[in-house]
Structure 1
Amino acid sequence: MLLICAMAGNYISYRLFNERIYLYNALTDLLGLFTVLAVGEAGRIHGETNSILLFYLISPTVFTAWISASAINRVEFVDDEFKNSRVRIIISIATIVAILFLFTALLLANIPIIFAVAFSIAAKNLLIIIAARRNWSEKNISAKIYFGFLLAVYLSIFSIFLPVFGKAFIENIPHAICTLISLESLIFYICLIYKKSINLTDQVHRDPLTGCLNRVGWRKTTDELMLKKNKSAIALIDLDEFKNINDSHGHLVGDKVLVEVSKRIRSSLSTNDLVARIGGDEFFLFMSEDSSQESIASRIATVLHSLRKPFKFGEKSFSITASIGVTCTPKDGSNLADLMRKADVAMYSVKKNGKCGYAYFANISHHQASPS
């Protein structure tokens, strides 16, 4: 029943949100249902002469199809960059491990099928965690909740259900397998909906083109951080002569440049620094981690250097420079709007002094970027 509910929920969500992951998950749940029926029937008639095909071929094939499909869905859920070849390798390994566990259990009569299924599912999820380990640093809360719930379910089954119900739980193969697959599918569906709700909330605070914070998200997040941080720095980045790119190469190329610029800026900063696009070709930075003048200068210089590297889009290639104004708290004040205005003043002082550099509002002392 739980599996059917999860399958129905995924299909309804697909119709509502028109996102393929829900449809794929509904089809995965259907494979899970076939797995429950096939493995359960194989276990029931094991030993009869007419059960060889079902027991040794159909059951492992259906289960392997389910665990492979679920692995693909879970990897895409945990790590959006599913095109990574490493992920494909991990999925292949997970499938092979599942097959080995299942065949071992089927060939060795003294190993219950339920343990083979449980070990296969556990191995699959463990390998997915290893495959997507890079994404944990990005605070993927929904993925952590998913794996946390799964861990709780496995601990409950092996520490409570088996000691209490024991033989009855193991021998009722269809019910036991259905419990494992249904719980995983239901937990995954709940976490999928939770992730969707986070994304919908996040869209209100994000720039749809670059994925950076927008003006609303910038003000909300920065106000909260400024209450916690005694010292921080705010920088305004304005791309020099960006209008010429739009005029010469078109707005489509201009948008691609902005996306690449945002990536280069983020890669030049620490993970705790904020990047916001507040409109056009202007980006704001909030730097709180190690906000000493030397550290800020180093990060700003890194940003300028990364932007000077050629941008290549097909046959088009060009370089970009930027003018940056910097304000620091508490030296330049503690009001966000006032700090943003002062950063704007410092940025325009760079524009007047030849562009391609940065300046602190405190002294409007222009620092020309060193050549490449």
Structure 2
Amino acid sequence: MRGDFSGWRVLAAESTTRGDLIDASPRLDLLARSGKPVVAVLRLNGSRPPPSADIVAHRIDEIGAAWRAAGVPLAGIEIDHDCATAQLEAYADLLAQLRTRLPVGLTLSITALPTWIGAPALTRVLGRVDASVLQVHAIAAPRAGAGETGLFDAAQAQRWIDAYARIAPAPFRVALPAYGLRVGYDDEGTAVAVEGEMPRAIEAQRTRELRVDPRTVSTLLRKLERARPPLLAGIVWFRLPGEDDRRAWSTTTLHAVIAGADLKPGFGVRVQTASDGAADIVLGNRGTFDAPPSASVEIAANACAAADALAGFRIEKSAAGWRFFPTTDTILRAGHEWRIGWMRCASIDRESVNESP
């Protein structure tokens, strides 16, 4: 998977509502081992004024010294500050001060919002940095009933990219989504809580899973390949797959999107027999597309003493044996498996273990 990427952008620190900069504690040993250039990202809270230039510059110095001492091939610093358009002049002043104090050999870049396009002060902001990353996902708070466009709208993203390409004075990248969110809404349909890569309890009137369809992102990528803006330097993916991050795309799906491969699930079932005579029913996705399981899984078996489904599935008796039905639309990531139930039978015809469409 590492061959798909030319480098890493890694969160190094982020500011709190009090204006403090908190260390994100990334694994420097892994970054050093990869040998690829790394850009350290400082995320500054956009709902309040950023820390002073002195505070940010001091933290950049600390990051540069510590990361380089750990063997990380640090190439640049990126400021991620989602400020209001009205604050762009002040942001440009901050960047100007940081640029004069940047450690030798490091570039300075920013994350840019499409809502800034057209603002006169954006020219000053972009003139203070070496490069930028245009974020085209999660721009507005998703409202109930807004569909998937609350997280990503490919057509709108294309319009933003085209508009940004006309004004960007230096190389830029586009940040594309490879993840989903669970959003909690109040009774007026306003988002009040979000669950991302880390599990969290959401107290809300209702919740909804928002997903970015990899096929729409792949289509946008192919369009950019056919008509690439002259200063488009590449793509930044947010966020990379993690075993504990069940809302991020699988490694298999992300690789397929980058490669332009066909995206389709490939569900299959296997029976795993235990020493006590019971058998686990395991559903796997052997395709390239993260997707919910389809209609049912049927197991042909004889003389069954007991059988049951596990969380996310229900079980019914069938003419051949037993049938398992999904009860949620939870995604089964490509390359992953679920234990969906168990059976204790005199025999299970493995050749007839299959998934019904």
Scaled by the length of structure 1, what TM-score is found? 0.26
* Structure in which a larger fraction of residues adopt helix: 1
Q: Which of structures 1 and 2 has the larger relative contact order (alpha carbons within 8 angstroms, sep 6+)?
A: 1
Scaled by the length of structure 2, what TM-score is found? 0.27
If you compute each CA radius of gyration, which structure gives the higher value, 1 or 2? 1
* Structure in which a larger fraction of residues adopt strand: 2
